[in-house]
Structures are given as structure tokens and as C-alpha cells.
Amino acid sequence: MKINKKIVYCKFIYKKYLKIEKKVLYYKRNLGVGKVGNKKNEEKKKTKSTKTTRTKKNKRLYGQKTVIKNKKTSNIIIILLIISLIVNGLSIVHFIKFDHNKVKIVTKIKEKEIKPENIVFIGDSITDFYDLGKYYPNKNIINSGINGYTTDDLYSKLNKLLYQYKPTKIFLLIGINNIIRGQNPDKVYNGIKNIIEEIKKNLPETEINVESIYPTNDSDEEKIFGEYVEKNFNKKVIEVNKKTKEYCEKEKINYIDVYSSLLDKNQLLKLEYTADGVHLTDLGYSKVTSILLPYIKEKNNA
């Protein structure tokens, strides 16, 4: 398609050149010789033979001036036409040789550079209860956490909860409800991996940050809600986190180990960080914020 445009443009310039060439020939014939002045002198000689020699000399001089004036006018016009031909010739060279696609690429890069930051947190109730406006003021952050969601629930709602926002960054936290409902670690891990693969396919330029599943507290403390947690839940969590970390390292995706920073000396979720053994208190969210904030502040490399 580019070659056809160039051919059409060259034909247009060539036609223009032929028109200019005809004009040059016209001006050469009518202005370059000075016939007008000579004819007038001859007629005056025939009709006014009684004029003095001095008068004839004056008229000859006048005729010569007319010829000189006409020649100058003709030369100026010819010079202007030649300049016009040169300019048009240069425009042809520019059109043929200039890489117009390069301009488009540069434009795309500039658009990409000025693209505003748009961050989405996606996951289950732990994300849902996270007051992002409080902990990340003046940041364009959307909370797409849904209470009770498993990996399958989230996978089926990615378009509504994620894609419509066209995020520059994503923070994914999912899997604890799968474990609470008795799924084995392999199935939970595969669910997380499927979500990541789907996001990569649909948002290839978006930075993905995968959070480890947070620890739980299955102690006998009064505030621990037994229906949420069972003994040794954290063993399953550790296994899922290990597989997820290995996958993220292989795929060069950010994996954020929040799990280790929330543990007490007994390797359980700190009591001051949890409201019921699974969900977090304000102090717990403050701790999570301190871990995630450097990733929020990083410039988007996508």
C-alpha cells in the first residue's frame, strides 16, 4: 500500500513539472526577445517619417529599455519556476525515503510513558477488607477483592474484576478459602497458576505482583474462630507458597513473601495482626502495607 501511494504522488509531481515546463516555454517566446518594442518602432518609422533623428534615437533607446525590462521579467519568472521544481523534487525524495512508521512508533512510546498509574488489588476477603484509600492515600488503586472467593471464583470473574480497569499493576492474593474448604495444595497452586496465566495472556504489559498466602493462627486463644482454621493449616499454606514462588521466579513475576513477616515465635499469624485467626486487624494491615509499599512506589516497567 505504501508503494502505491508513492507512485501516485510521483505522477502528480511529474504532471506539475510538465505544466511548469510549458509556462517556461511560453515566457521565453513572448518575453525573451523583445518583439513588442521592435514592432512599435517599425510602425512609427513608416507613419512618422518626418520625425527628427534625435526623436528616432530616443525611441530606439526606449525600445531597448523595453526589451531589457522584458528580459529581466522573463529571467525572474524562470528562476522562480526552477526553484519551484527543486522544492517539489526534494519533497519527492522526502516522501520516498522518510520512515513514516518511525513517527508512529515514537508516538506510541510517548503515549506509553505518560500513561497514568492504575493499580488493582484482586483476591478474597483479606483484600476486600483492606482499606486501600486509608493506607495508600493519593494513589489510583482499585479494590477488587470479594469476600469468600476461591481461585475458581476469581478466574471466572477476571473480566469484571480486573480487565475492565486496564491496570498497569496487579496485586494478587488468593487461595486461603480453597485451603479452608479442604483442597489439597497442588489443586490450590494450579488454581493460582491458571489465574496468572490468564492475566498474562490478556494483559501482557501489566506488572503482576503475587502475594504469598498469609499465615493463619490455630491457637486456643479466645478470639480465634475455629470454623475458619484447623490445626496445621499453615503446612498447606507453606506448600502452596513454595510452588507459587518457584513458578513466579521461573516466569520472572514479582513474588512478595508477606507470610514470613506476619509470623510470631510459634510460626503462627501474630495475635495482634489477626481478628479471628485468618482476617487481619488494622495493625496487621499496617504491617502488610509496609511490605507492599515499595512495590506500589516502583515505576511501571511494562
What are the sequence ranges of the domains in the chain?
Answer: 2-98, 110-297
Within 10 A of 119 (CB to CB), how many other CB atoms are there?
Answer: 22
> Which ranges of 98-184 does DSSP label H, i.e. alpha helix?
100-113, 125-128, 132-135, 151-156, 158-161, 176-180
What is the pLDDT, as a whole number, of residue 110?
40
pTM: 0.62
Q: Would you give per-residue pLDDT tens digits along the chain (302 residues)?
A: 445 555 656 666 666 666 666 666 666 566 554 444 455 555 555 555 555 555 555 555 555 555 555 556 667 777 777 777 777 666 665 555 555 544 443 434 344 344 578 999 999 999 999 999 999 998 999 999 999 999 999 999 999 999 999 999 999 999 999 999 999 999 999 999 999 999 999 999 999 999 999 999 998 888 888 777 777 889 999 999 999 999 999 999 999 999 999 999 999 999 999 999 999 999 999 999 999 999 998 754 43
- Residues whose CB is less than 8 angstroms from the CB of residue 111 and which lie 6 or more positions away in sequence, other chains included: none
- Cβ 266 vs Cβ 221: under 8 Å: no
Assign domain 110-297 one CATH number from 3.40.50.12280, 3.40.50.300, 3.40.50.1110, 3.30.43.10: 3.40.50.1110
What is the pLDDT, as a whole number, of residue 59?
52
What is the pLDDT, as a whole number, of residue 231?
77
What is the pLDDT, as a whole number, of residue 37?
47
3-state secondary structure of 171: strand
